Chains A and B, each alone.
Chain A
C-alpha cells in the first residue's frame, strides 16, 4: 500500500518555541493531506485539511495562526506549532489520500505520528 512518512516521531521543546512536523507521501502524490491531533485515550480530532498550492482549511476551534500549515508540493505538507505551550503536548498525525489517479476511494494513508512534549 501507499506509504506516508512523518518526521520527527518524537520531539521535546521548551515553552514558547516553535516546532515543525513534516508529512511526506513517499510513493504517491496527494493534493490533499489531513492533520489530526489525538490526546491520550481520546479519538482522532481533525485539525485542518491541507491543500496543495492553496490555504489550509481549519476546523472550528483550531487557531490557524498557531498551527501553520504549508502544502508546498504534492508530496509534502508541514505543520508548525508556533509558540508552543504545555497544553499543546499531544500526538499529531498526518494522513494523505492518493487522489491524483483514478478510482479515489477516499482511503487515507496515515503517517506514523509525532509525539510532541512541551516543557
Chain B
C-alpha cells in the first residue's frame, strides 16, 4: 500500500533549527511536497523535490533521497510564526498526492 510517515508533534525553541522527517512508500514516485498549515487556514506550498539532494529557500530547506524513500524539511532561525502543522505529501505514478498526517510544530520562546 501507499503510506507516508511523519512525526505527530515536535517542539523547538525560537531561534533554533528543527528538522521534520518524512518517509514514504508509493506506487511510483513523481516528487514530494511540503506544505505549511496554520490552524484554521488552508495549506500553503513550501517546497517540491523530485531529484535527490537539498533545495534551499531562505530559512527553509527540503531534502530528498529517492533510494531511501526519505525527505526532511529543515527550518532555521525559528520564529514564533513558524508554529504550524507541516504536511508531507508524495505524488505517485498518476500524480495523485498521498498525504502524511502532518507534524505539529510548537515553537517556545
A residues engaging B (CB < 8 A)? 1, 6, 43-44, 46, 91, 93, 97, 99, 104-113, 115
Number of interface residues of B (CB under 8 A): 21
Whether B44 pairs with A44 at a CB distance below 8 angstroms is no
Closest CB of chain A to B6's CB: distance in Å? Answer: 10
**Complex CA distance for A46 and B43, rounded to whole angstroms:** 14
Whether B44 pairs with A110 at a CB distance below 8 angstroms is yes
Question: Interface stretch among B10-18, B55-63, B96-104?
Answer: B96-104
Main secondary structure of the interface of A (DSSP, over half): loop
Residue contacts A-B, CB under 8 angstroms, 13 given: A6-B42, A43-B85, A43-B99, A46-B99, A91-B40, A97-B95, A105-B31, A106-B97, A107-B33, A107-B45, A108-B97, A112-B41, A113-B41
Whether B42 pairs with A110 at a CB distance below 8 angstroms is yes
B43: nearest chain-A partner, CB-CB: A110
B91 at the interface (CB under 8 A from A): yes
B70 at the interface (CB under 8 A from A): no
Task: Given A105-B30, A106-B30, decide whether A112 and B42 contact each other with a Cβ distance below 8 A.
Answer: yes
Whether A44 pairs with B99 at a CB distance below 8 angstroms is yes
Whether B91 pairs with A106 at a CB distance below 8 angstroms is yes
B105 at the interface (CB under 8 A from A): no
Q: Write out, one digit per residue, whether chain B residues 22-61 have a CB within 8 A of any chain A CB (1) or not (0).
A: 0000000011010000001111110010100000000000
Question: Given B30, B91, B101, which contacts A43 in the complex, CB threshold below 8 Å?
Answer: B101
